[in-house]
């Protein structure tokens, strides 16, 4: 049977399975007994494994950290790795993010593109390979994690229990394929909010829900002197960026400022408008005695390349990016998260950056550094994947590349990100409002994965 004809047969199943899985709000929450990342991620993992059961595959749930769907036999394992957790829904949706809708040939809903739709496409590829009747001399194991967006503890748990793979790919990146991923540095920094005897007191600063999303809305509450002038200035402020929107209101002797920017994935902060950074940019003109405002202005500002704090670096595979995803206050302490994607080859001056922040009065907590990923683009493994993409699309112009986003590939050897975003596709909005995926790409992606699995079985 022709592969294209075969995968088209599964298209409606992919649509239905994606909608079912994306109807579950699988944002990490407080853990419960037997649910290490909360009820939502556990429910989504169980749903995905149940779909695998429905299609007659072997499945295993690893204590709601992760699970897998498997077929074949042998010592060698071809891994496919996806995740069922999602980032918070945020604001600005034109429909309920957890009641997926089909409009204009796309499915809209949180997680349909990142990563539930691609997961169901990969599962359909397993069905197609099985139906083709080729010898399964290796195991094909489709791993599903429940904590990709917030820490990778899911696949670390999987690795401890089950080990690694002979080779594999994650349908959580882009085509033609990603042979390198930048390093990842995450930390929470805390320091003093207000100076001694301030004339204008910052009561609170809040913004953001995820470290790896450009913060869309930041809110500040002030009390004390000069509030009328601050309100007037804020209502006129946009920081030279037309995407910035502001509103201000008095209530019970305090002034509340709300600044709206534009979210984007934390690995590409240049495509967003960070509401935290613009809020601080405004405040520095009116509040000059806040250690936090002064530090942020001097070491971060409106930049997203780390230049002000000494982190800036780059190589032929890309430059460092820095995203401030979350800010919050407790008493007279302000805390914020840093998400840095640093170059694959160039030296990341982590010590210089951390010294700049500590010298300014910050305490660095929960600092974590994950090394970059690099797989030889000339290897038979990479060539097999790339040729599968070319056979389906005829696209010889697009070449394998590196990216800033971090996928499960980083947690294993000989694993790379491979699809599902195609060159030139727009409108997916991963991590943003109105996240969507084009139904027309289901058959394309599924055929690429079928051809790739067939080639990897022969290596």
Token duo for residue 445: 């992606």
Calculate the CA 404 to chain-centre distance: 10
Label residues 22-48 b or e (16+ Cβ within 10 Å = b). Answer: bbbbbbbeeeeeebbbbbbbbbbbbbb
Task: Reduce the DSSP state of residue 160 to 3 states and report it.
Answer: helix
**From the candidates 114, 148, 354, 447, which is the catalytic residue?**
148
Compute the distance between CA of residue 142 and CA of residue 370 in angstroms, rounded to an integer. 24
Task: Reduce the DSSP state of residue 334 to 3 states and report it.
Answer: strand
Place of tokens 């539930």: 116
Neighbours of 333 (CB within 10 A): 14
376 part of the active site: no
39 part of the active site: no
Terminal C-alpha separation, the chain: 23
Nearest to 219, CA basis, from 276, 272, 266, 283: 276
Token duo for residue 368: 């974590």
> What single string gives the DSSP state of each residue in 407-430?
-GGGGSTTEEE--EEPTT-----T
Compute the distance between CA of residue 100 and CA of residue 107 in angstroms, rounded to an integer. 6
**From the candidates 17, 28, 85, 444, which is the catalytic residue?**
85
Nearest to 205, CA basis, from 295, 283, 297, 308: 283
Which residue numbers are catalytic?
85, 148
């Amino acid at each position: 049977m022709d592969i294209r004809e075969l995968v088209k047969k599964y298209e409606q199943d992919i649509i239905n399975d994606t909608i079912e899985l994306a109807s579950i709000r699988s944002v990490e929450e407080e853990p419960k007994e037997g649910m290490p990342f909360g009820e939502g991620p556990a429910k989504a993992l169980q749903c995905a494994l149940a779909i695998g059961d429905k299609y007659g595959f072997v499945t295993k749930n690893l204590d709601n950290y992760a699970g897998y769907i498997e077929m074949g036999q042998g010592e060698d394992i071809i891994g496919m790795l996806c995740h069922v957790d999602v980032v918070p829904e945020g604001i600005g949706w034109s429909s309920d993010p957890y009641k997926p809708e089909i409009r204009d040939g796309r499915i809209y809903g949180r997680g349909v593109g990142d990563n539930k739709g691609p997961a169901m496409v990969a599962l359909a590829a397993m069905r197609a390979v099985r139906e083709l009747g080729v010898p399964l001399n290796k195991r094909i194991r489709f791993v599903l994690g429940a904590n990709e967006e917030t820490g990778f503890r899911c696949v670390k748990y999987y690795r401890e229990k089950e080990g690694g793979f002979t080779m594999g790919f994650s349908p959580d990146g882009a085509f033609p394929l990603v042979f390198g991923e930048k390093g990842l540095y995450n930390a929470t920094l805390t320091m003093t909010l207000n100076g001694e005897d301030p004339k204008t007191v910052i009561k609170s600063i809040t913004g953001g829900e995820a470290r790896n999303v450009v913060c869309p809305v930041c809110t500040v509450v002030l009390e004390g002197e000069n509030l009328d002038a601050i309100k007037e200035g804020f209502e006129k402020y946009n920081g030279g960026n037309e995407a910035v929107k502001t509103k201000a209101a008095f209530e019970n002797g305090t002034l509340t400022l709300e600044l709206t920017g534009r979210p984007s994935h934390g690995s590409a902060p240049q495509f967003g408008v960070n509401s935290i950074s613009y809020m601080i940019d405004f405040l520095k003109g009116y509040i000059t005695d806040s250690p936090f405002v002064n530090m942020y202005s001097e070491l971060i500002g409106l930049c997203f390349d780390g230049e002000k704090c000494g982190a800036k670096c780059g190589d032929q595979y890309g430059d460092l990016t820095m995203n401030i995803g979350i800010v919050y206050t407790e008493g007279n302490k302000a805390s914020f998260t840093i998400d840095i994607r640093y170059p694959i080859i160039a030296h990341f001056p982590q010590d210089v950056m951390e010294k700049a922040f500590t010298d300014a009065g910050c305490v660095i907590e929960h600092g974590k550094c994950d090394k970059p990923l690099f797989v030889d683009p000339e290897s038979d493994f990479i060539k097999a994947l790339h040729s599968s993409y070319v056979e389906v699309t005829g696209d010889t112009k697009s070449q394998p590349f590196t990216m800033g986003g971090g996928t499960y590939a980083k947690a294993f050897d000989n694993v790379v990100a491979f699809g599902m975003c195609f060159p030139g596709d727009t409108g997916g909005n991963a991590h943003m409002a109105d996240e969507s995926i084009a139904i027309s790409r289901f058959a394309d992606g599924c055929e690429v994965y079928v051809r790739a699995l067939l080639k990897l079985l022969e290596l």
